[in-house]
Structure 1
Amino acid sequence: MGRKRNRGLSPEEEREAIEQLVANSPGIELRGEAIRIDFMCQGKRCRETLKIPLTFANVEYAINKRKSIQLEIRQGVFDYAVHFPESARARNTKASRKVSLRELYDRYWQIKSANITEETERRYKVALEVCGEIVGWSVPLGTLMPEDVDRLRANLISTRKPSTVNHYLATWNGMVEWARANEYTSRTLDAAFFKNQVEDPDPLSLDEFKQIIEDGCLHPQDKALVTLAVYTGLRPGELCALAREDVSGNVLHVRRSVTAGKVLKVPKTGNDRKVWLVPPAQEAVRALLEMTRDAKPVEEAVEISRHQSRKETITPLVTPLQARNKNISTNRMQVGSWATKWEKLLSRAKVRRRVAYQTRHTYACWSLTAHGNIAFIAKQMGHKDYSMLVKVYGRWMDSESENEAEFIWQELQKSGAYCPVIKEK
């Protein structure tokens, strides 16, 4: 920038002219062969060294730059990052926050992905990629308006279920809230959720269960797995991750789950739990133990969080005994394989199609209609409390209210309760 020296002047003469100009220019300093600007901003003294050669013309440039800065400060429009983008003081200024949606995503994701598991990362990434494509990755974040978010909602709901859309919007909201907290935008760009009618559980009837066992299951392992799933309420991932070491008499210890990505992790709540086995489940476990009596224990890693795992020496209880290609089969049945097998069992038994997760709902509904204690049922299923049980299975609880009242009265009578005869005097 600028000519190297005034024409007709020797280097020594130009240096003398530069020093004379600097001496007569407040706020301009020489730092060896560099030019430094000194000014006051928001009551603080600021010094910035310009990365330009030391010439007479560049000193004049620095003088004019300082005057422009002072004028902008007086007018209230000064932005540090515009004049000194590489300065530490430029961080968190308006100019440094001007990013496109793609740049925001890259910054946000670097932080977000460090705090979630790989499986959660996969689902969140899909959601944000879809939202970014709809809104437009190149759009400057500062130009986004609530109208753009409304268009995003409308586009998503046109081809997706409300539950799916709400998941996408929740992930989007997390990113734009982070952006607002870090002053990448001053606008509220949260998306409103759609009302989502929670789908009622679709449990098996006792007749359907019997039909699956008798007509759908061709292998003893199939009968054992269906029975265990229905009479324990285990999640599919928990069922597939069971080990022989988890069995202790009539108690099953649920210590891990397996993801769709074939990764072992701690259960959904992060805590181990005990499941007390009723006779059908005890028989199913006995059969599975017999089937895996020759299995060898292996040391495996169980994810606790993205950055922490534990080592366990375990012997899989649910193995792919019927795998067609033994060379590529794993030592544990995977969630996808169980889902595929479940569909084949229903088809063979001519039972209406349901996803494998409905075995969990079957356990809850059967237990509630049998007057089971809701706190006990919630604990068996691994819920933090019974509020989820009430929310999801309220219809089954309401339908049994009359029977429950009769049941309570019968139990009270056993304790000596009686109905007094009341007559008017």
Structure 2
Amino acid sequence: MASDEVRKTGFTGIEIHGHSIRVDFMYKGVRYRHTLGIEPTRANIKHAAGLRSAALFALKSGHYNEADFFPHSRSAESSPQTSKRLGDLCDRYKPLKAVDITPETELRYGNALNVCLKTIGRNRLIDTLLPADIQQLRADLIATRAVSTTNHYLATFAGFLYWCENNGYCGELGKHCVRFTKSSKDPDPLTFAEYQALLDKGCLHPIDRATVTLAVYTGLRPGELLALAIEDVAPDLSKITVQRSITQSVTFKVPKTNKARTVLLYPPAREALKVLIADAEQREAADLQVWLNRHESRTDHVRVLLSPKTQARKKVVNDYFVPSAWNTKWANLTRRAEIRHRPPYQTRHTYACWNLTARGNLAFIANQLGHSDYSMLVKVYGRWIDSESPRELERIWEGMQNMARNVPNLPQKLAA
């Protein structure tokens, strides 16, 4: 008898292959075939039949791990590379995704993926996932989390599923990670009376008053405000250049738009800068590593305007404010001022709303805030844009008359 001759055993999917037993079965169009390497005795054949039944049951229930059932097969020995378990696939996906994102974003993505895998099951085979499983994931996540958090988890998990689809591990599953509709919240700007209360009652130190004034009259994002340096300010205090931001992990990076922008300054902001610069000049310049992306950075030799050391009561404090520290200080300022608490990001909304209420040019305001165009202004701050003022017609007509007086009346060329 040839060594590779195959003989039937009377048990479905159990064959005698040469001098060993081979197990063969199909599941969802995929053939599984393993040679056990044991003699084809009657007892071993019955054992193989039971092993085959158990493997099929594990496949159907989503808990199949090839190495558990067939540890000596060549495919099992390479299971970390070929496994279709969600946990193993995700472990392969994470480092591939990491090359395109910052370390801080990598941590947030990793946490989101871990939560989703824990909910579905890390050992679940991806080819056993159904759209209903993704829908159940959505229901489980939203039951105990905010809409914004749930949507972040779903978007991150969808990216992982799309990667699995592109590599042939599963069918179309990513499209079922539908995000929940989030109710839009209008900006909640400070009134001028609240702003005055912040300065008069909330701020006990000149640096705090200057910082709040600068935030309100420039519209900087909190991370941009905390990373602003003397070297970013024009000598005549007419403008600042926003070219870095600080993160919660005390990492400096480029602004949200990935490019620097120039912000022209109102008189209150100029006066505030005089106070902040006088304080920052007492500190030595430091080399800040500013990350441009995951793999590139630059070094800025600057003196940051704001430092916790200015008002520190402790001997050991950080050199720079991080967003959470500024959040705490802002909460104390609003509490002492006895005004309704808002996140410090509302100073940016205050700048936009005050400019719009004063009928500022939309393109100019968008440029000051770092928006590519003014469509974001219309979308977010529409209620502060007065489009039906009785004075609007008079203002436009006055401008047209001025234009008529200033533009010379050039003669028209006669047609040939």
Q: Offset at 1:402? A: 5.3
Q: Would the aligned equivalents of 1:369 and 1:400 in 2 still touch at CA under 8 Å?
A: no
Partner of 1:243: 229
The question of whether the paired residues in 1 share the 8 Å contact of 2:218 and 2:263 is answered with yes
* Equivalent residues of 1:98, 1:142 under 8 A apart: no
Deviation at 1:330, TM superposition (A): 2.1
| Identity fraction in percent | 45
Report the CA distance between 1:182 and its aligned residue: 0.8
- Alignment-mate amino acid for residue 181 of structure 1: N
- Spell out structure 1 runs of 4+ moving beyond 4 A: 58-62, 76-84, 95-98, 398-406
Which residue does the alignment assign to 2:201? 215
SS in 1 for 2:189: coil
Question: Hey, what does 2:343 align to over in structure 1?
Answer: 355
Residue of structure 1 in register with 2:171 after alignment? 186
Unpaired segments ≥5 residues, structure 1: 1-17, 27-57, 418-425
- Counterparts of 2:130 and 2:306, CA distance in 1: 52
Residue 123 in structure 1 maps to residue 108 in structure 2: yes
Q: Cα 1:96–1:301, aligned 2, differ >3 Å: closer, same or farther?
A: closer
Q: Is 1:306 aligned to 2:294, yes or no? A: yes
Q: Does 1:366 align with 2:351?
A: no
Instruction: Give the corresponding residue for 1:112.
Output: 97
d(CA) in 2 for partners of 1:160, 1:119: 21
How large is the Cα RMSD of the aligned pairs? Answer: 3.0
Find the partner of 1:283 among 255, 271, 275. Answer: 271
Q: How many residues align?
A: 352
Q: 1:137 aligns with which of 119, 122, 142?
A: 122
| Cα distance, 1:405–1:392 mapped onto 2, change above 3 Å | farther
Which of the numbers 215, 230, 243 marks the counterpart of 1:255? 243
- What SS does the corresponding residue of 2:182 show, helix, strand or coil? coil
Worse overlay, 374-383 or 158-167? 158-167
The CA distance in 1 between the partners of 2:322 and 2:400, in whole Å, is: 48
Distance 1:399 1:322 in 2: 46
In the other structure, the counterpart of 2:380 is 392
1:338 alignment partner, one of 320, 326, 329: 326
Structure 2 residue aligned with 1:51 = none
CA distance in 2, matches of 1:224, 1:400: 36
CA drift at 1:373: 1.4
Alignment CA distance shift 1:180-1:359 (3 Å): same
1:174 aligns with 2:162: no
What residue number does 1:315 align with? 303
Counterpart Cα distance in 2 of 1:212 and 1:264? 29
SS of corresponding position for 1:341: helix
Distance in 2 separating the partners of 1:401 and 1:165: 42
- Using the alignment, how far apart are the partners of 2:95 and 2:128 within structure 1? 23
Deviates most, 314-323 or 156-165: 156-165
Report deviation, 1:112. Answer: 0.9
Q: Give 1:345 deviation, angstroms.
A: 0.6
Q: Partner residue of 2:142? A: 157
The within-5 A match list for 1:370-385 is 370-385=358-373
Q: 2:189 aligns to what?
A: 203
Which residue is equivalent to 1:224? 210
Residue 402 (structure 2) aligns with: 414
Q: Could you tell me how far 1:256 is from its partner in structure 2?
A: 0.3
Distance 1:400 1:302, change over 3 A: farther
1: distance between equivalents of 2:330 and 2:390? 35
- 1:102 aligned to 67, 87, 97, which one? 87
Native 8 Å contact 1:245 1:314 kept in 2: yes
Distance, in Å, in 2 between the alignment partners of 1:255 and 1:355 is 23
Q: Which has the larger radius of gyration?
A: 1
Counterparts of 1:4-19 in structure 2 under 5 Å?
Answer: none
Superposition pairs of residues 288-299 of structure 1, within 5 angstroms: 288-299=276-287
Q: Is the 8 A contact 1:85 1:96 kept in 2?
A: no
Relative to 1, partners in 2 of residues 1:344 and 1:77: Cα closer, same or farther, differing over 3 Å?
closer
In structure 2, the gaps of 5 or more residues are: 6-15, 35-65, 67-72, 406-416
The TM-score normalised by the length of structure 2 is 0.77
SS of match in other structure, 1:253: strand
Structure 1 residues 347 and 103: alpha-carbon distance in aligned structure 2, compared to 1, 3 A threshold: same
1:85 paired residue among 59, 62, 75: 75
